[in-house]
């Protein structure tokens, strides 16, 4: 089968206006700006307004990506929406976005892989384009994590924020850059390292699950930290191995979870920190949304321009535990 080379034709993002700073959090839980900055690098995060849902943020990010790509909504064949915080269990939030955008020819689904969701979604979308089954695919990462945050738990509520990012995938000859080269996905089962236990078939919603806080995100921070550092470095190394190695690597755009994790991975890889994009200080961990938000910011600030012809590695890890990357040539 002849595969059609795929590429990224446009980038979009949407960040809610409301800022929740470390100083705001000092008033809510027993923490300090200094502790949060030292352990995570985070200064503030964005929080969706009352009445603002994942589908709203996703729609705005997707609209921006379509404009950037010069692709009309009715040219989209498929919408893949990665999220751990959909509007509801079903129908899929992707279908709401399809309606809001007017993607009259598209079908779509939600993808559940937590922080790895966007990276998995791009791989899925790229296969449709490569196979010639779709001419244009929207891949969205969106979260309203504030809705499942326990604001009495200082070990989690300081980390996470809300936001959305999106890309449009097309055949490479139309995208004009950002050729999709490769992808990888994996899992290292460790179910309760990061989990929202309530509301599924294992623990259906009940008074008891609500009283127990089972509908909030729960996490073992240290376990996740160690996993992330180890996996991050391995994935970056693996991603470039067959594409010219580290010499060809222009930038790593990692899932934004913690500045210390990014620095530890850079050190492990022996690469300068300048080769790793980070905006975690502004938005915290926005799970599936963090990489497309970062890519849009890089695009807007012209940071990809000097990297033309080089590799960009987008690498993620999260609940599951799950991990993966996708690689493009800028
Ligand atoms: C959560 C995280 C920042 C905690 O940092 P850490 O250096 O591992 O801190 P520890 O969990 O060892 O806790 C150290 C101490 O700080 C305390 N502490 C925890 N959160 C705190 C907070 N917000 N403010 C002040 N103190 C806090 C702990 O209670 C502990 O106190 P103790 O020593 O008296 O028991 C870090 O583990 C992390 O970032 N992990 C990865 C999490 C992540 O990104 N998950 C998402 C995956 S996609």
Ligand 1 centre to CA of 167 (Å) is 33
In angstroms, the first-to-last Cα distance of the chain is: 26
Classify domain 6-178 by CATH number: 3.40.47.10
Mutate-to-test residue for ligand 1 from 113, 225, 280, highest number of ligand atoms within 8 A of CB: 225
Q: Dihedrals φ, ψ of 280, to 5°?
A: -60, -25
Q: Would you call 90 exposed, middle or buried from its count of C-beta atoms within 10 A (0-12, 13-18, 19+)?
A: exposed
Helical pair 33-40 and 259-269, crossing angle rounded to 10 deg: 30
> pLDDT tens per residue, the chain (330 residues)?
789 999 999 999 999 999 999 999 999 999 999 999 999 999 999 999 999 999 999 999 999 999 999 999 999 999 999 999 999 999 999 999 999 999 999 999 999 999 999 999 999 999 999 999 999 999 999 999 999 999 999 999 999 999 999 999 999 999 988 999 999 999 999 999 999 999 999 999 999 999 999 999 999 999 999 999 989 999 999 999 999 999 999 999 999 999 999 999 999 999 999 999 999 999 999 999 999 999 999 999 999 999 999 999 999 999 999 999 999 999
Closest CA to 12 of 321, 300, 223, 274: 300
CA distance 190 to 171: 37
Catalytic one of 115, 172, 258, 313: 115
Task: Respond yes or no: is residue 258 known to be catalytic.
Answer: no
CA distance 136 to 128: 9
Question: Given this chain, do its domains 6-178 and 180-329 carry the same CATH topology?
Answer: yes
Ligand 1 centre to CA of 239 (Å) is 30
Residues whose CB falls within 8 Å of the CB of residue 251, separated by 6 or more in sequence, listed in order: 275, 276, 277, 298, 303, 304, 307, 310, 312, 313, 330
CA distance 4 to 135: 10
Domain residue spans of the chain: 6-178, 180-329
Atom 30 (ligand 1) nearest CA: 155
> Tell me, what DSSP letter sits at residue 201?
S
Cβ proximity of 311 and 330 under 8 Å: yes
Residues whose CB falls within 8 Å of the CB of residue 180, separated by 6 or more in sequence, listed in order: 5, 6, 7, 8, 122, 126, 129, 130, 169, 172, 326, 327, 328
**Which secondary-structure segment (H or E) carries 8?**
strand 6-14
> Tell me, what DSSP letter sits at residue 149?
-
Q: What CATH architecture is 180-329?
A: 3-Layer(aba) Sandwich (3.40)
Cβ proximity of 186 and 323 under 8 Å: yes
């Amino acid at each position: 089968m002849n595969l059609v080379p795929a590429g990224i034709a446009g980038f979009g993002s949407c960040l809610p206006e409301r800022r929740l700073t470390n100083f705001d959090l000092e008033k809510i839980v027993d923490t300090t700006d200094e502790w949060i900055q030292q352990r995570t690098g985070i200064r503030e995060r964005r929080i969706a307004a009352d009445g603002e849902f994942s589908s709203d943020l996703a729609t705005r990010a997707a609209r921006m990506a379509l404009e950037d790509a010069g692709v009309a909504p009715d040219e989209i064949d498929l919408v893949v929406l990665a999220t751990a915080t959909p509007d509801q269990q079903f129908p899929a939030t992707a279908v709401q976005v399809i309606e809001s955008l007017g993607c009259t020819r598209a079908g779509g689904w939600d993808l559940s892989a937590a922080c790895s969701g966007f990276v998995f979604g791009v791989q899925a979308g790229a296969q449709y384009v490569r196979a010639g089954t779709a001419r244009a695919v929207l891949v969205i990462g969106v979260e309203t994590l504030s809705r499942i945050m326990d604001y009495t738990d200082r070990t989690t509520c300081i980390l996470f924020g809300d936001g959305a990012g999106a890309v449009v995938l097309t055949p490479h000859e139309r995208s004009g850059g950002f050729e999709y080269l490769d992808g990888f996905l994996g899992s290292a089962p460790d179910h309760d390292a990061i989990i929202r236990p309530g509301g599924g078939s294992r623990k259906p919603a009940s008074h008891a699950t609500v009283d127990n806080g089972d509908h909030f995100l729960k996490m073992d921070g240290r376990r996740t930290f160690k996993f992330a550092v180890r996996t991050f470095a391995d994935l970056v190394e693996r991603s470039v191995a067959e594409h010219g190695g580290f010499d060809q690597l222009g930038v790593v755009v990692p899932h934004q979870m913690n500045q210390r994790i990014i620095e530890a991975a850079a050190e492990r890889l022996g690469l300068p920190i300048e080769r790793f994009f980070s905006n975690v200080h502004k938005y915290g961990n926005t799970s599936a949304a963090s990489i497309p938000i970062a890519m849009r910011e890089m695009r807007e600030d012209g940071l990809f321009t000097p990297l033309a012809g080089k590799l960009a590695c987008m690498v993620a890890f999260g609940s599951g535990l799950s991990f993966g990357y996708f690689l493009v040539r800028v």
